[in-house]
Amino acid sequence: MGLGDRIVVLDQSGTVLFSNREAAAVFPELQAGVNLISLWQPNPLDEIQSLLAGIQSVRTGSTDQIEIELCHRAQSQQVWFEARISRFEPGETGFVLLVLREITTRKRQDIQQLSFRQNVQKVATEWYRTFDSILMPIFIVDAAGHLVRLNQSALQLFPFSRFQDAIGHPFTTIATAENSTQLDQLFRQTLVGAGPQKQKITNPLQNKIWEVTTSLCDNRETEDTCVIFVFHDVTQLVHLQESLQENQHLAALGRVISGLAHQVRNPLFAISATLDAFEARFGRQEDARRYVNVLHEEINRVNQLMHELVEFGSPIKLSLVESQLGSVVDKAMIDCQPIATAIGVILEKKVMGVLPKVLIDPDKFTEVFCNLLDNALQYSTPQGHVVVELSQVSSQAQTFVHCRVCDSGPGFPAEDLDRVFDPFYTRRFGKIGLGLASVHRVVTAHGGRISAANAPNQGGVISIWLPVPPSNPN
């Protein structure tokens, strides 16, 4: 017992035998001869009932000592006591000792701490709800590249169903082989203090185009550094822009082709007819034969150019058939094998598992793969490899056949990646730049997607995703 404690002594019946001045000041009703149990029994307060229960427990010998907290209102203020009830001189003549120690200051501190914790919990809950209600995927990555926080929208980008499963995993699990390099580059540039970064990232499996923004979050107090990723879905905007640009290109191309066909075909026919007449008269002469052959080759080249222009400027007509994409690739590889043999490059095909059929125009896609293989062969070095990889991939809503055409060349210049599929863009001498543009046009006409990227080690990669039709279409 300490100085200032309130002390009350009760007999076995609960009658007050003694109470000191401190106890009487707080509980004036506790006078000698008053039965405390009879006095407080009608009191509805839980604290009083707990105190009486403790006294009863000690009186009957169920326990020797018990401690409870008691709240008492004195002069319109709440005062808290720590009540220690103990029994001494056991037996019929035993006494019950009630010691009340004021703990008001401590109790108020506890209440303030509890209120503070509840407010913090409320703020945290509201923050989490706000964070999760944001439709844009947002996630936070530590300096090692591991996830430390993400919202509900971001969770859908990862192959996890629960937040606790995602925390601690590398953020690159969101990426495909093609865009992991882009995301990692954004992360590293932000981490070294290059300022906020922004770049468009394509996720073909979800048919999404994201504008990814990164910013650095540096806590100087804890010396923790993290990078915040914000994904903004710009798929519809990009598709509208692409559609507008393509329509503008096609409209301009249609006008060019219409005028070009009219201006070129008649003179070309006259040149060809004149050359035929010249060949009929002088073709047997050895010197003339050499020049006649060169002129025929150039006329054929111009005719082929006109054919490509007219084909590209005309609407696509598809004859769709459920086909195995691997068979179409085989046919294209046979067509391109003489070129591969001539330049010393090995053509390979790798198929991962059994692939479902896709709804395509086999002839159009044979041209697609011939274009892609020819392009890959021209940029590959002798003794290099051009590999066509086929696999099945699935997203939450769709199954695709994924095709990657990988070469062993220098890859695409970084500044050209956004222009690879533009009409009339080429770095190959003697070409007009309609090959990859035609490929892009055919793939998108089939409801597929196509992208260009560079492999982590060496070489360019063209990836195509074709949707697998429902097994029982209506």
pLDDT for the residue numbered 473: 41
Domain boundaries, the chain: 6-102, 134-233, 240-313, 321-467
390 vs 77, higher pLDDT: 390
pLDDT > 90 fraction of the chain, expressed in percent and rounded: 14
* Entry pTM: 0.48
Select from 253, 372, 270, 384 the least CA-distant residue to 306: 253
Same CATH topology for 6-102 and 321-467: the answer is no
Say if CB 283 and CB 292 are below 8 A apart: yes
SS3 290: helix
Query: Average of pLDDT values for 441-450?
Result: 88
Question: H or E segment at 453?
Answer: strand 449-454
Kindly report which listed range (68-72, 89-93, 287-291, 334-338) carries the lowest average pLDDT score: 89-93
Over residues 6-27, the pLDDT tens digits come to: 888 888 777 888 888 888 877 7
Taking the alpha carbons at both ends of the chain, their separation in whole angstroms is 87
Say if CB 444 and CB 246 are below 8 A apart: no
Query: Average of pLDDT values for 75-86?
Result: 75
Instruction: Work out whether the CA dihedral 359, 364, 369, 372 comes out positive or negative.
Output: negative
Q: Does domain 321-467 have CATH number 3.30.565.10?
A: yes
Over residues 37-62, the pLDDT tens digits come to: 776 666 666 666 777 777 777 766 66
pLDDT score of 96 more than 60: yes
Can you identify the CATH homologous superfamily of domain 6-102? PAS domain (3.30.450.20)
Q: Report domain 134-233's class.
A: alpha beta
Residue 333 binned pLDDT confidence (cut-offs 50, 70, 90) = very high
pLDDT score of 401 more than 90: yes
The CA–CA distances, whole Å, from 325 to 177, 331, 340, 370 equal 21, 10, 21, 13
